[in-house]
Amino acid sequence: MSRLVKNDILGLSISERIQLVEDIWDSIANVPESLQLTEEQKTELDRRLDDYHGNPGKGSPWDVVRERIRNRK
**Looking at residue 18, what is its pLDDT?**
96
**Looking at residue 2, what is its pLDDT?**
72
Residue 57 or residue 39, greater confidence: 39
Give the DSSP per-residue string, 14-63: HHHHHHHHHHHHHHHHT-GGG----HHHHHHHHHHHHHHHH-TTSS--HH
Residue 25's nearest CA partner among 66, 61, 70 is 66
